[in-house]
């Protein structure tokens, strides 16, 4: 990738996934370090959004992937919280990779959504995407990431927090304060909804087990 392109900030979601697709076309696999080299030195928004969106694709259905992505995003959010101007990742995380073929397929599924998001976001109330609001966004991302591992055991549940994280990344990319406000409201809804879903699922499992224990003695008595 040319220095000129690396120095240019992406202006929307389509720019971000286009660059990611270009990375995937160059090698058989794409490492976290490759994405970091392409986006990490310029801004936090693209890096956050890419890994959140990957979780929403079929790649996110692989056991352990949502939690791994959440850990990477959380590490970025900590650096946002402390005002770092670029992203640092330990070498063992930078070496984690995904097959380019799978990444191409995932990007293909994201293009329609990316176009719609770019059509409906613009430079509005950009004060809500910098300063103290960066720290507010970072705290929200950390809370959302913390909910992913327990939700991963429930079908599709971990996608809720990741959608909210992707929305925060989008707000940072397009510098849209209204999108940031919507993303933070979505984060509250994702945490609340995920918590409710998790605990009600536990209750339903407990109820099912209880019914099984009750029915077992009944069957023996008929015998």
Q: 223 pLDDT exceeds 60?
A: no
pLDDT on residue 145: 94
> Tokens 């929403």 appear where?
56
The ranges assigned to domains in the chain are 3-222
Counting Cα atoms < 13 Å in the Cβ hemisphere of 213 gives: 6
For a pLDDT cut of 70, what percent of the chain falls above it? 82
- Residue 100 confidence class, pLDDT cut points 50, 70, 90: confident
pLDDT on residue 158: 82
Q: 10 pLDDT exceeds 80?
A: no
Close Cβ partners of 7 (under 8 Å, ≥ 6 residues apart): 42
Q: 37 pLDDT exceeds 90?
A: no
Q: Measuring CA to CA, which residue among 104, 105, 115 is closest to residue 21?
A: 104
Q: What is the C-alpha to C-alpha distance for residues 111 and 11, in angstroms, rounded to an integer? A: 15
Lowest pLDDT segment from 61-65, 113-117, 218-222? 218-222
pLDDT on residue 3: 43
Mind listing the pLDDT tens digit for each residue in 168-218?
988 888 888 888 898 899 899 888 887 877 778 765 555 444 444 454 444
pLDDT on residue 40: 58
Query: What average pLDDT does the chain have?
Result: 79
């Amino acid at each position: 990738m040319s220095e000129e392109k690396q120095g240019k900030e992406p202006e929307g979601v389509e720019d971000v996934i286009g660059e990611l697709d270009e990375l995937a076309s160059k090698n058989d696999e794409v490492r976290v370090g490759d994405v970091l080299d392409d986006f990490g030195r310029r801004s936090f928004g693209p890096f956050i959004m890419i890994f959140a969106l990957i979780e929403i694709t079929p790649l996110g259905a692989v056991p352990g992937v949502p939690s791994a992505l959440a850990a990477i995003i959380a590490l970025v959010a900590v650096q946002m919280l402390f005002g770092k101007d670029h992203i640092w990742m330990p070498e063992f995380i930078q070496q984690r990779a995904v097959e380019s073929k799978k990444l191409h397929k995932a990007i293909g599924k994201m293009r329609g959504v990316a176009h719609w998001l770019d059509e409906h976001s613009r430079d509005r109330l950009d004060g809500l995407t910098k300063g103290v609001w960066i720290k507010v966004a970072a705290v929200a991302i950390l809370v959302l990431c913390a909910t992913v591992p327990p939700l991963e055991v429930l079908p599709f549940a971990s996608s809720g927090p990741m959608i909210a994280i992707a929305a925060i990344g989008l707000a940072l990319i397009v510098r849209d304060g209204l999108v940031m406000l919507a993303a933070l409201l979505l984060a509250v809804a994702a945490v609340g909804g995920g918590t409710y879903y998790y605990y009600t699922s536990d209750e339903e499992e407990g109820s099912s087990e209880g019914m099984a224990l009750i029915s077992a003695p009944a069957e023996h008595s008929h015998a």
